[in-house]
Amino acid sequence: MTADEHLLILVLALLLDRIVGDPDWLWQRFPHPVVLFGKAISSFDRRFNAKHLSGVLRRRNGIMSIVALLMGALIAGWAVHGFLAFFGWLGILVEAVLVAVFLAQKSLADHVGDVSRALRADGLEGGRLAVSRIVGRDPETLDEPGICRAAIESLAENFSDGVVAPALWYGVFGLPGLFVYKMLNTADSMIGHKSETYIDFGRAAARLDDIANWPAARLSILLIAAGALVKRGISALGNAIRIAVRDGGLHRSPNSGRPEAAMAGALDIQLAGPRIYGGELVREPMINGAGRDTATVNDIEAGISIFYSACTMLTLLAFLGFLLLL
């Protein structure tokens, strides 16, 4: 398959995901591919990350495991793509559906929107319950501005690794690249923690995931800024880029802080700062410390609007690439 066909499929997948998202009725009947990736990762975890093993051995096993998992994903991507190539335009349409499954535009916006709707309908307790479904911090420690900040941070971070990164990996490397990225990203979410259990075994997965997400995190700055331009004007565009460049490195993650800082600048609010995970206080500097210190439900909804506009910019960028290659 040629590069222009990859970009055409990507455009179709982005449009399909934007309209349909992840229908619950489908995944109640069939296993989501990411669930299958997760089962493979869990199998390696159980077999090669036993508690009695030394840290050095766990680290070695972690390297071997992630290499094996990524090779499996690469081969699976080649096999599926090769099979679909036999069916011409039908195969292209099926591949577009498959790519859409790995994108998260509508599902991400819906989950973040649930937080604003819960806050408006059910107050603080409803907001805490809704935000607990999308972030790892302790919801009982959050007041309403804290809930709003958490939702906006999740929206920005997941725009990068749930939309831009899979689109970029597919656009450049096709289905094998997409499968490899999603396997790596799933492994990072499952075993890439700095806990006693995974600090050694998951180290390689976490480092590789940082590398894999580096380009998308930087591209997401420009897309969020472009989305801010459409929704809030030229000053929001400039502020998004300025804050992303200045504060993007304040986050403990080498990538997550970039889109979060861009969104903080676009909305002119403070994000990140100290927060509690698993009963432990994580101290981080505030991103956009000069911005408004009280995030609101309106900011969540404005963030979703900018997010969708940024997704549109990504689709237009893919379509422009298709036209240029065509």
- What's the predicted TM-score (pTM) here? 0.94
DSSP characters for 243-291?
A: HHHHHGGGSSSTTTHHHHHHHHHHHTB-EE-SEEETTEEEP-PEETTTS
Helix (H, G, I), strand (E, B) or coil at 293: coil
Q: How far is residue 71's CA from residue 63's CA, in Å, rounded to a whole number?
A: 12
Residues 6+ apart with CB under 8 A from 280: none
Burial class of residue 15, CB neighbours in 10 A (0-12, 13-18, 19+): middle
Q: Would you write out the chain's pLDDT as a tens digit for each of its 326 residues? A: 677 888 999 999 999 999 998 887 777 788 889 999 999 999 999 999 998 899 999 999 999 999 999 999 999 999 999 999 999 899 999 999 999 999 999 999 999 999 999 999 989 899 999 988 988 777 788 889 999 999 999 999 999 999 999 999 999 999 999 999 999 999 999 999 888 889 999 999 999 999 999 999 999 999 999 999 999 999 999 999 999 999 998 888 889 999 999 999 999 999 987 766 655 666 788 999 899 999 999 999 999 999 999 999 999 999 999 999 87
Helix (H) or strand (E) holding 141: none
Instruction: Say if CB 244 and CB 258 are below 8 A apart.
Output: yes
SS3 content of the chain, % helix, strand, coil (to 5): 75, 5, 20
Q: How far is residue 289's CA from residue 287's CA, in Å, rounded to a whole number?
A: 5
Please report, for residues 44, 98, 144, 233, the alpha-carbon distance to residue 298 in angstroms, rounded to integers and kept in the order given.
44, 34, 12, 17
Instruction: Say if CB 208 and CB 66 are below 8 A apart.
Output: yes
Residues 6+ apart with CB under 8 A from 276: 137, 138, 141, 282
Tokens describing residue 8: 């055409």
Please report, for the chain, the start and end positions of each structural domain, with discontinuous segments joined by +. Answer: 3-325
